[in-house]
Each structure stands twice: as C-alpha cells, then as structure tokens.
Structure 1
Amino acid sequence: MTAVLDLTDPTSWPDNLHRCLDTLQDVFHGWEKGAGAVKAADYDHAGAELYEVLQPYSLLAWHCTRLTDHEHHCIVREGMKLPNGDMLLRRIVAARTDGLLAPDVTDLLLAKHQADHPNRVSRIWFCFFPPRVAGESGIGRFFRYWGGEALYGMHEPDPVTGPALRVIGRPSLVEAEVPVASLGRHTYLTTKVARRYLVHQGFETRECTDHEGCALQPLPAAAIRRVITLDDPDFVALTGCDGWKGPDS
C-alpha cells in the first residue's frame, strides 16, 4: 500500500524525503533568497531530484464540493472519475430524473457550462492542506452551488438557475489519498514541499507553503478515505464554516 504524506507536517515525513531535502537545502534556500544566489538550472535539477523522491507517495487531500446522495455513494463505491462535459450532462439528467431539477431548468443547465474548457476538463482539483486555511472566500462557493465551478460559474447570478443549484445536494468534502504520480510533472508541488521544509528548519520563505493542484488520473475507490458532509463535526473542523459571514451553506 502506498505511504501517505501529510504535506502540512514535516515531522511525519519519511527519512528518505528528509535526507533528500537535507542534501538540497542550500539550493532551495538560496533560491528563496533570490538575487541570483542560485542558478535556475541548479534549482530545476534540485526540483527534479525531489520530484523523483516523491513519486512513490500519495498525498492527503480534500476536494470541496456539493453532492447528491447518489453521487456521494458512487464516489465511495467507485472512486472519482475525470470530469468532462459528458459527465456533467449525465449528472444534470440524473438530477432531473431524481426530481431535483425542473425540466425547464435542466434545459438551461445543459445548454450552458464550461465543463470541456481546457483549464477544467479531466482535472480533479484538491487542496493538500485543511480547507479552512483557504477561508470562506476561497472555498465557500464550492459548497453553496451544486455542479462544480464549471456549471455554477455560468449560472450563479441567474435568477432562475442560480437558486436551483443552491438546493441540490449537500456540502461535502471528499478526503482522499492522491498519488503524486497522478499530479503531473509541471506543478508547484516540489516548490511547496521545499518551502515547508525550510520553514520547519527555521528559515523564512518568500511565498506560501500550502499546495493545491489537480489529479490528471482517476482515483480508485481505495484512494477515497471518506466523504464528509455538513452534518459531520469534522466538516466544520476542516472548513471553519461556523465562522463564515456569507449565506448559509
């Protein structure tokens, strides 16, 4: 079974990862200091070396969303598939079949979405830190509207479809173990791991250490730890939603 890393807790990281970071510390620290302290080629080489060390691991992560009961059970049973336009259309039709959408609203939703946009299609987004860190402005809308950003982003201000998306499903967190290998090579993962390590060592960094990114491969059911809904105390603890000022989720 793949070992799981909690990116927010360097004390829990395995010895081989610490050894790699110890070896590369001067390069990563020099890059953070800027002013040409480290050559770009040396930094890139260090990042590639760290990326290879991270490959065998999975990362503890959370996906913020709103799910119907059927979708909740499907994720637990089957895992998470890569989203696209066809998947969204099937979800909308299923919601209509289950009596959650009126036919006229269904037609409007089917006609207007961004699920096949290059920046959205075949990507499952996660935060690799407790979602509460992102705050209400960062994650609140994911819980208030069903269908995902590709749908609600087109309908949120609409007086007909916007309210309809607010009453479908329940605010949910999908807690998962996301393989590093599913994230792709060109991410900021190595930068964030290095920064978290440097902070743990007592150094200062120029930017944040929290990482968010997208899986480019489906997640099997074995990678899903649990789906946490609004009625679970862990949902409040992980999101901090009890301190939000906006509309009720």
Structure 2
Amino acid sequence: MATLIADEVIDVSAPETWPGPLASNLAELDRHVPHDDHPADLAIPQEGREAVKSALLGQHLLARHFTRLMPHEFDSIRSAGLQLPSQGFFDGRLDRAEALGYISQTVAQVLKDSTIFAAESQVRGDRNFVCLTIGPVLEEDAGAVSELLGTWGGEAIYFAAGARDHAQLLRTLGEPAVVQVALPPECVSRSRFFPAIENVLLGRMRGLPGAYGDVLSREAVRPYAIVAIRRLQ
C-alpha cells in the first residue's frame, strides 16, 4: 500500500490533486463549454472529452464503495479487496453469515436462490461489475446511497424477490461503511462512468452541485488498492 499512496491519486472533489495536464484541459473546456446548471448536461465536444481521457491515462482515481458490513467482512475486504459479483461470491458470503450465526440456514438458502444471478429470468442486463462512486455523493445526496448503507447484502440480494420477507432482518445486520479505493489505471480505463467523468470534473471545477457520479468497474479492486474502510454512524 505504501507504493500506491506515494503515487498521485486524483480526487474529483479536490482540484489540488489534479495533475497539470488534466487541470489545463479542464480550464480550456471551462472557457468554451456553454453554461449549464447540471454537470451531466454539459455539452462537452468530443475532442475535449478525448483530451480529458488522455490526461487520465496512467492515473489512479479515488473512488468510494458504500456498503453494509458484518464485523468479519472488514477484514475480508482488507485481505481480498472488492470482488466482482457472482453467484459464487454471494453464496460464500451467505454461508459465512450462516456459520457465524447471523442468519439461519433457511434464510441463507432463500437468499441464495433469489439473488439477481440466480434469478436470471427476472433480471436483465450485465451485472458483472464493482459499483463505486466519485465525488461528494454522500455529502450532497445521502439518499442516493441510503439503501446501500441501510440494508446488508448489496443490490444482488436485497433487490431479489426472495429477500422481501427478510427485509427487516437485512436492515439489522452489519453496520454502514464506506470503502475508499485508489482505482488503478487499468480499472479507470475499463470502467463506465455515469455521468461521464469529464462532465463530473468540469462540474466540480465550476462549483456546480451534483458533481459526482457512479463508476462501474469491470475489474475487481485488489487489496493493494484499498485505501481505507471507514465505519459510518
């Protein structure tokens, strides 16, 4: 982890962390892109988008993963990082919760049978990514992450039909936490950003509210990229 911290890590919320080429490209966009109150709607030309993406090559990006964790899961993330979701991953998570007495065997099986990966006929779309955020989403719009912080298991479990009868139990398990990661360059280049990262950055430069977004990482976040895990009260 010491080597990673020594590198530059870009924090969308802190312009002082933006490297020179990135700051210069954004300043150029600031001079020419028409005003809009909403970062997602900023009409950035394609060449401007490409210039920002080029300036991000080789850079680490600070991102956050909002979740709810049982005590043993803090150490699991420190040792294994953030894994790509799969049926096997959630089966293991539920097995561990059952073994430690947090849930019954019956509840564990119901939840296994109804995750979004088990219920393929009910859920469409690609779900094989780690969900992260950039920017001050918790500070500006806590409601956007309230379900992630308030219900154990993540969307793959608590959105499943079988979880409805156990919603109250899932809200009592674990505690809210945020995992800070320095997303490595190979993850940044393969991730999907909503809205586009250049819109988020330009919105932050202009001081617009709502300059934050979702990141869908196609890569698992390895342990060396975990910066901190913080409990939230």
Q: TM (normalized to structure 1)?
A: 0.76
Matches within 5 A, 1:99-248: 99-115=101-117, 119=125, 121-154=127-160, 158-159=164-165, 161-183=166-188, 184=190, 187=193, 188-197=196-205, 199=206, 208-229=210-231, 235-236=232-233
Contact 2:191 2:215 in 1 (8 A): no
Partner of 2:81: 79
Partner of 1:4: 9
Partner of 1:58: 60
Task: Compute the displacement of 1:8 (Å).
Answer: 1.2
What is the rounded CA distance, in whole Å, between the counterparts of 1:111 and 1:165 in structure 2? 16
Question: Which structure has the larger Rg over C-alpha atoms?
Answer: 1
Q: Which amino acid aligns with 1:195?
A: G
Q: Which amino acid aligns with 2:83?
A: K
Contact 1:62 1:131 in 2 (8 A): no
CA pair 120-143 structure 1, distance change in 2 beyond 3 A: farther
Contact 1:79 1:219 in 2 (8 A): yes
Q: How many residues align?
A: 217
What is the rounded CA distance, in whole Å, between the counterparts of 2:8 and 2:179 in structure 1? 19
CA pair 191-71 structure 1, distance change in 2 beyond 3 A: same
Query: Where does structure 1 differ by over 6 angstroms across 4 or more consecutive aligned residues?
Result: none
What is the rounded CA distance, in whole Å, between the counterparts of 2:184 and 2:59 in structure 1? 6
SS of match in other structure, 2:63:
strand
Matches within 5 A, 1:11-30: 11-27=16-32, 29-30=33-34
Task: Compute the displacement of 1:79 (Å).
Answer: 1.4
Q: TM (normalized to structure 2)?
A: 0.80
Where does the alignment leave 5 or more consecutive residues of structure 1 unmatched?
Answer: 230-234, 237-249
Q: Which amino acid aligns with 1:196?
A: R
Task: Compute the displacement of 1:66 (Å).
Answer: 0.9
Where does the alignment leave 5 or more consecutive residues of structure 2 unmatched?
Answer: none
SS of match in other structure, 1:146:
coil
What is the rounded CA distance, in whole Å, between the counterparts of 2:76 and 2:230 in structure 1? 14
SS of match in other structure, 1:158:
helix
Task: Compute the displacement of 1:88 (Å).
Answer: 0.9
Contact 2:135 2:211 in 1 (8 A): no
| Percent pairwise identity | 20
